[in-house]
């Protein structure tokens, strides 16, 4: 929760109001790099953050930016005050004087309304921290320019304070990013294309009218860089395409193809075992909703077996199963739960069945994910599509089991609640 204290974070003093400068100050009130944008960006990033340590950092700084908004707003209001009663001052910005009554509003210095489009929120913590560092750098430059456009001592002091805090926040965000121990260019989870990632295209060539030249430096030479002349010029001259496009070598040097076949054979045996186990679980279910869910998933499982067989055909391999010891253990455990549930109350018995079923789903989800990733790396797009469909069904089945479990937990609570009443 927020609590407003009637005291500015920095006491603002303006000796000579300047309405035109007050208009400039609105850039840091409702502008793209202003305090409201920063407060909203960091606070929303914080709300989305799963990392408790860095969530605290984001909420701390997001809240401080609201205090800065109050400082900037007060400073701008004091400079704009003459626009309330002085015609000449009002002419500096009629939008503020006439529509806003000479006070601040959520506009930038050009009169454009504040918009959430200013916010940079991706949900990837390291990417967001980099955006925040850049946002603080831009804000620092805006404050520096504002300082250079005023001679009012009190205003300069307030702007110096705000500008300094931008550097403080930059340091905090930079150290938070560094503490994550992520390589500088490790963004997201999908690896870049080998070879292509190190190609530098010399796409701006020749000598310009004003002395522009082609240059070389650490940004395009040394290390892993491969300096490549402009692909457009090479194509014009009839040269072969110099752009690296393959995401991995055509030859399966790592034996990923064999690994994919092994994974598919394991999944095939797992699914076949499940077609025998699901009817027993459906029969043991006490509630119709759970029974119907098991029956529905049996139909899906039979279709998934057909898809796996199709994958083998696409890969030119015989659809042969390999004993899946993991699923054997899970099925055996499920049979024990079915036996033990005979003496349980209906809700408890079905919750135990759901627990066994979800362990199976998670096992299958991991298997399909591995197989799909291998197929993707080997560029078997048709196989990827088949495995992705089965994976989506397994994930959906897990979610449906969750929904039934929540319903049953409510039922299980009812007797206790009635007894207390």
| Residue at 5 is within a domain | no
Specify the pLDDT at position 195.
Answer: 83
* pLDDT score recorded for residue 418: 44
Residue 416 banded pLDDT, cuts 50, 70, 90: very low
Quote the crossing angle between the two packed helices 346-377 and 256-284, to the nearest 10°. Answer: 160
| 209 in any annotated domain | no
Q: Rounded to the nearest 5 degrees, what angle is found at the Cα of 309, between the Cα atoms of 359 and 293?
A: 35
Indicate whether 215 belongs to any domain.
no
pLDDT band at 211 (very low <50, low <70, confident <90, very high): confident
pTM, to two decimals? 0.62
Domain presence at residue 272? yes
| Claim to verify: residue 269 and residue 175 sit in the same structural domain | no
> Is 327 a residue whose pLDDT tops 80?
yes
Residues 334-349 have pLDDT tens digits of 899 988 877 888 888 9
Q: What is the pLDDT of residue 247?
A: 53
Residue 324 confidence (pLDDT) above 80? yes
Q: What is the pLDDT of residue 244?
A: 72
Q: Work out how many domains the chain is built from and give that number.
A: 2
Per-residue pLDDT, 417: 44
pLDDT of residue 84: 80
Q: Is the pLDDT of residue 251 over 80?
A: no
Q: Look at residues 140, 155, 179 and tell me which one is the last residue of a structural domain.
A: 179
Q: Are residues 161 and 30 in the same domain?
A: yes
User: Does the pLDDT value for residue 413 go beyond 80?
Assistant: no
Count CB-CB contacts under 10 A for residue 11. Answer: 12
3 found inside a domain = no
Same domain, 68 and 157: yes
Which pLDDT score is estimated for 296? 94
Domain span including residue 73: 19-179
> Is 292 found in the same domain as 173?
no
Q: What is the pLDDT of residues 163-188, one digit of tens each?
A: 999 999 999 999 999 999 888 888 88
State the CATH number of the domain containing residue 356: 1.20.1260.10
Tell whether 174 and 83 lie within a shared domain. yes
- For residues 58-85, give the mean pLDDT: 93
Domain termination residue (choose one: 179, 197, 228): 179
| pLDDT at position 88 | 77
Do 404 and 289 touch, CB atoms closer than 8 A? yes
Tell me what the mean pLDDT of segment 88-104 comes to: 75
Weakest-pLDDT range from 143-147, 185-189, 313-317: 185-189
| pLDDT band with cut points at 50, 70 and 90 for residue 421 | very low
In a domain, residue 204? The reply is no
Q: Say if residue 268 is in the same domain as residue 409.
A: yes
Q: Is residue 249 predicted with pLDDT exceeding 80?
A: no
Across the range 280-300, mean pLDDT stands at 93
Task: Tell the burial category of 271 from Cβ atoms under 10 Å away from its Cβ (0-12, 13-18, 19+).
Answer: buried
Tell which phi-psi region holds residue 181, choosing left (phi > 0), alpha (psi between -120 and 50) or beta: left
Is there a domain that residue 310 lies in? yes
Q: Is the pLDDT of residue 149 over 90?
A: yes
Question: What is the SS3 assignment for the chain?
Answer: CCCCCCCCCCCCCCCCCCHHHHHHHCHHHHCCCCHHHHHHHHHHHHHHCCCHHHHHHHHHHHHHHHHHHHHHHHHHHHHHHHHHCCHHHHCCCHHHHHHCCCCCCCECCCCCECCHHHCCCCCCHHHHHHHHHHHHHHHHHHHHHHHHCCCCHHHHHHHHHHHHHHHHHHHHHHHHHHHCCCCCCCCCCCCCCCCHHHEEEECCCCCCCCCCCCCCCCCCCCCCCEEEECHHHHHHCCCCCCCCCCCCCCCCCCCHHHHHHHHHHHHHHHHHHHHHHHHHHHHHCCCHHHHHHHHHHHHHHHHHHHHHHHHHHHHCCCCCCCCCHHHHHHHHHHHHHHHHHHHCCHHHHHHHHHHHHHHHHHHHHHHHHHHHHHHHHCCCHHHHHHHHHHHHHHHHHHHHHHHHHHHHHHHHHHHHHHHHC
Residue 240: pLDDT over 90: no
Co-location of 269 and 408 in the same domain: yes
The residue out of 159, 179, 199 marking a domain boundary is: 179
Residue 407: per-residue pLDDT? 87
Q: At what angle do helices 52-80 and 35-48 cross, to 10 degrees?
A: 160
Other C-beta atoms closer than 10 Å to the C-beta of 404 total 20
For residue 140, pLDDT over 80 is answered with: yes
Q: What is the pLDDT of residue 104?
A: 86
Q: Residue 100 pLDDT > 80, yes or no?
A: no
Asked, for residue 11, whether it belongs to a domain, the answer is no
CA distance 275 to 363: 15
- State the virtual CA torsion across 24, 28, 31, 37 in degrees, nearest 10: -170
Q: Same structural domain for residues 175 and 38? A: yes
**Using CA atoms, how far apart are residues 72 and 264, in angstroms rounded to an integer?**
62
* Chain mean pLDDT for the chain: 89
Q: Is the pLDDT of residue 263 over 60?
A: yes
Sole residue written with tokens 């408790």: 52
**150 & 288 share domain:** no
Q: What percent of the chain has pLDDT over 90?
A: 65
Q: What is the pLDDT of residue 24?
A: 94
């Amino acid at each position: 929760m927020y609590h407003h204290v009637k005291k500015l974070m920095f006491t603002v003093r303006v000796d000579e109001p300047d309405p035109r400068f007050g208009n400039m100050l609105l850039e840091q009130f409702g502008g793209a790099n202003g305090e409201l944008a920063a407060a909203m960006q960091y606070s929303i990033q914080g709300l989305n953050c799963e990392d408790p340590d860095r969530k605290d950092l984001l909420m701390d700084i997001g809240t401080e930016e609201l205090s800065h908004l109050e400082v900037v707003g007060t400073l701008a209001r004091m400079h704009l005050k003459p626009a309330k009663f002085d015609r000449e001052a009002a002419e500096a910005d009629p939008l503020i004087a006439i529509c806003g009554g000479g006070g601040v509003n959520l506009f930038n210095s050009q009169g454009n309304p504040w918009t959430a489009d200013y916010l940079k929120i991706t949900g990837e913590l390291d990417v967001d921290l980099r955006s925040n560092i850049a946002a603080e750098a831009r804000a620092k430059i805006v404050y520096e320019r504002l300082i250079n456009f005023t001679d009012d001592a009190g205003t300069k002091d307030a702007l110096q304070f705000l500008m300094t805090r931008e550097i403080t926040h930059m340091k905090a965000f930079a150290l938070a990013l560094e503490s994550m121990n992520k390589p500088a260019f490790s963004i997201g989870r999908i690896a870049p294309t080998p070879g292509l990632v190190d190609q530098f295209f010399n796409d701006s060539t020749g000598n310009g009218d004003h002395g522009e030249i082609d240059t070389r430096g650490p940004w395009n030479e040394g290390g892993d860089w491969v300096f490549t002349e402009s692909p457009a010029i090479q194509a014009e001259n009839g040269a072969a395409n110099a752009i690296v496009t393959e995401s991995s070598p055509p030859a399966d040097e790592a034996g990923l193809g064999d690994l994919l076949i092994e994974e598919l054979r394991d999944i095939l045996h797992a699914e076949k075992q499940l077609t025998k186990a699901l009817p027993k679980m459906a029969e043991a279910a006490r509630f119709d909703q759970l029974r119907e869910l098991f029956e529905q998933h049996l139909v899906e499982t039979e279709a998934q077996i057909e898809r796996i067989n199709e994958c083998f055909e696409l890969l030119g391999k015989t659809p042969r199963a390999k004993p899946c010891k993991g699923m054997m253990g899970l099925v055996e455990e499920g049979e024990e739960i079915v036996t033990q549930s005979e003496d349980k109350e209906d809700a408890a018995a079905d919750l135990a069945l759901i627990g066994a079923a979800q362990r199976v789903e998670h096992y299958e989800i991991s298997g399909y994910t591995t197989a799909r990733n291998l197929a993707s790396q080997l560029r078997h797009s048709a196989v990827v599509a088949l495995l992705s469909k089965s994976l989506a069904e397994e994930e959906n089945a897990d979610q449906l089991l969750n929904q039934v479990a929540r319903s049953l937990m409510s039922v299980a609570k009812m007797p206790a609640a009635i007894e207390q009443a």
